[in-house]
Chain A
Amino acid sequence: MKLAYWPGCVSRGFTPELHGSMALVAPKLGLELVELDRASCCGAGVIAEHNQELADTLNARTFALAQGVDGAAGMMNICSTCQGAQSECQERLDADSGYRDHINGTLSDQGLTYEKSGEWWNKNFMWLLVEEIGLDKLAAKVVRPLEGLRIAPFYGCYIVRPTHRLGFEAHPNRHKYLDHLIEILGAESVSYAGSHKCCGFPVITMNRATSLRQAGRHLADAIDAGADCLVTPCPLCHLNLDMQQPDAAKFVERDLDVPVLHLPQMVGLALGLEPKELGMDKHVVKTKDVQVKVAEVAAA
């Protein structure tokens, strides 16, 4: 399947292991990724907060670039925040033809137009796995079931709320896909209070306490529920849950030390890729225990 591929900023910045692991996983799934190297940041909601039209125009440009990829089935992203911010812009662009024409007017001298279409889509890797590839096909590709691993799904916000904007009418179970993926890859999905809550990242520079108390609380809940690690489809969540974890521990006044995987890393492990090539050594919280467990399963 050929896809216009938007990796986002953070996967090529502070979480290069995400970008790297996606690149390795794609061919195993038969995905041909055409990277949108001219596209700009989605704005993460921050640009829209500053100027809605600016965010809408930048994302309309990204969509137009994606629509220009010959033979692509659609556009894929690997960041929940990109998904949420882009869906928000797309909702406005699609709601009003006058507004859409105005935005396209700004893009016209670049030879770009965003076309509203019921056929075209922009899906996060998590959605794509379930809806375009299919759990059964994915199951068939598993060479190293993640048996014995207890994984806590961390969905975050942007990919589950608000449901009216995120396609839940057509796909009412999108809030359970991580659980499904964890289980189809052979691991056990851990249920805990924070799975669909906020990692706190958006206010990390504005209110560190509010931000890291959220991250810390959810990590602690996952640990208490017996998780070996977490998995998330959002690199911004990863920043707060992994990179900031030592500080989050201080805010909730307890030890945490639980690794957090990116979704393509988890998929990659089950498809037989090695932890090191998936960048699992580049985490702040060491992933050694997870690696050991995975190795044990492979040996058994």
Chain B
Amino acid sequence: MSILDKILGRDEEPADGDGPKNEAAGYTLKIRRYDPESGETAFWHEYDVDIAPERSVLDGILYAKDHEDASIGIRCSCRAAICGSCGVRINGKSALACNTRISDAQAKAGRGKPIVVEPMGNMPVLKDLIVDMDAVHWKKIQRVVPWLLPDGEPPEREYIVPAESMIDVTQSMACIQCGVCVSACLSLEVDPEFVGPAALAKAYRFVGDPRDGQTEERLRDLAEDPHGMYDCTHCFACIEVCPKDVAPMDQIMRLRRRATGDYEIKDKNNGYGHGKAFVDMIENWGTLHEAQMLPRSFGDGSMIKGQTEPGAVKQLVEALPTAIRGLKSGKVTPKAVLFHPKLPDQDNVRKIYKAIESQGERLELNLYIVADNSADEEGAMAEGTKEGLA
């Protein structure tokens, strides 16, 4: 067999899942069990479950509980992806067990292999598939002051606010606090203090709410926190796994947009400086001039003004060996550090900057609200297939 055949043979994965691979046994769930009272470490156990392909992984686990071992621990309630109880990892991917079709999970696991179910990541395991949400998730939610703080007394009737603004924050309101994004977050993996995707999305729910009176304070708080909005590495893991299209990372980016664009919060984490340096550079040259990126980022984004925060100076110094290494390895020449060519028609790029800045208001297209005004089939691509592979 050639390598090519091997690759392709190994790879036969029907995208839509084609039902049980072994008709007699239905599906096999390989569940990570942990009993804190036993004194033993976690172990794996396999359960054969006989359910229809369109049923969920949760149905499979409930089948195992009903027929074989009711001591398997899993939180679950609604079965319909609204209560947020049954977050787990299925074949390594964080998800709600109730809205992961078992045949899809089988397709991902691969022919003849068990579907692997583990507790969520980034949170301590209490028993079997049950993790301690309080110790991580809810602590972080509490951290972002998760309640509306309006200015003054409420009006006699409702607050009058733009219709779009309510639909807009409904995206983060749609969060069911399942913790699936927390489980998948790659920053949390290395920085347990990171406020995290769910809590930051929750923060945007108030920052984006025109009724809230503490917008700037909220933004400043999360911009200055070293584990706040600038501790997200933009890895898309939360967007990929969110069962409710909350797109937590998009909400984090909106926090940054508001913090830098609307309030010009010059944080000590260089979030403002980094963004401004980047955007300004493209206006100047059209392409990135990395050699200037570092010095410009620290501080308020401008090397000339040089009003750097003490923390920024420290970070700049820490980063210097990197630049020196670049020169030493020969990949960066001194000339390249000093000189960066403009694009041949950089004026056209500047024109775009000017046109957009002159509009006054930032135009933001949120695909969560835009139900498409092109032809309908196009909208179906943007909206309807979002979770096709989730």
Contacts and interface: CB of A to CB of B under 8 A. Distances in A.
A217 B187 CA distance: 12
B325 interface: yes
Interface string B349-390: 101110110010011110100101110001101100111111
B289 interface: yes
B294 interface: yes
Given A50-B279, A94-B382, A110 B348 contact: yes
Contacts of A162: 236, 239-240
Contacts of B322: 243-244, 247
Interface string A171-199: 01100100010011010000000000110
A46 B233 CA distance: 11
Contact of A10 (B288, B321, B370, B387): B288
Contacts of B367: 91-92, 95
Given A61-B352, A106-B355, A200-B233, A169 B389 contact: yes
Given A47-B278, A213-B190, A164 B389 contact: yes
B78 interface: no
Contacts of A168: 388-389
Nearest to B352: A57
B329 A206 contact: no
B160 interface: no
Nearest to B107: A172
Contacts of B239: 161-162
B40 interface: no
Interface string A238-259: 0000011011000000000000
Contacts of B381: 94
Nearest to B330: A282
B286 interface: yes
B237 A161 contact: yes
B305 interface: no
B158 interface: no
Interface string A39-73: 11101111111111110111001000000000000
Nearest to A92: B365
Given A43-B282, A135-B7, A183-B7, 6 more contacts: A40-B287, A44-B288, A46-B274, A50-B260, A54-B352, A207-B227
B298 interface: yes
Nearest to B271: A206
Given A40-B343, A52-B364, A91-B382, A164 B352 contact: no
Given A37-B344, A96-B372, A198-B186, A52 B362 contact: yes
A211 B4 contact: no
Q: Interface size bucket, B side?
A: 35 or more
A102 interface: yes
Contacts of B363: 52-53, 102
Which of A49, A116, A211 neighbours the largest number of chain B CB atoms within 10 Å of its CB?
A49
A157 interface: yes
A203 B7 contact: no
A205 B344 contact: no
A272 B260 CA distance: 49
Which of B190, B232, B261 neighbours the largest number of chain A CB atoms within 10 Å of its CB?
B190
A292 B326 CA distance: 24
A214 interface: yes
Contacts of B282: 40-41, 43, 47, 58
Interface in A196-239: 197-198, 200-211, 213-214, 217
23 contacts: A13-B291, A41-B282, A52-B257, A54-B279, A95-B370, A97-B374, A98-B373, A135-B4, A157-B233, A157-B234, A157-B237, A158-B236, A161-B240, A169-B388, A169-B389, A180-B7, A183-B3, A183-B6, A183-B7, A203-B230, A208-B319, A217-B190, A281-B330
A48 B253 contact: yes
Given A53-B356, A161-B236, A207 B226 contact: yes
A99 interface: yes
Contacts of B355: 57, 106
B275 interface: yes
B7 A14 contact: no
A58 B260 CA distance: 20
A119 interface: no
A16 interface: yes
A282 B327 CA distance: 10
A288 interface: no
Give 10 closest A-B pairs by Cβ, nearest first.
A161-B236, A9-B288, A198-B235, A213-B190, A97-B374, A95-B382, A157-B235, A206-B230, A282-B331, A9-B287
A252 to B, nearest CB: 9
Contacts of B7: 135, 180, 183-184
B15 interface: yes
B191 A210 contact: yes
A295 interface: no
Nearest to A95: B382
B326 A14 contact: yes
A110 B326 contact: no
Which of A61, A100, A164, A281 neighbours the largest number of chain B CB atoms within 10 Å of its CB?
A164
A267 B172 CA distance: 44
Contacts of A58: 282, 349, 352
Interface string A270-296: 000000000101111000000000000
A13 B288 contact: yes
A10 B270 contact: no
Nearest to B293: A205
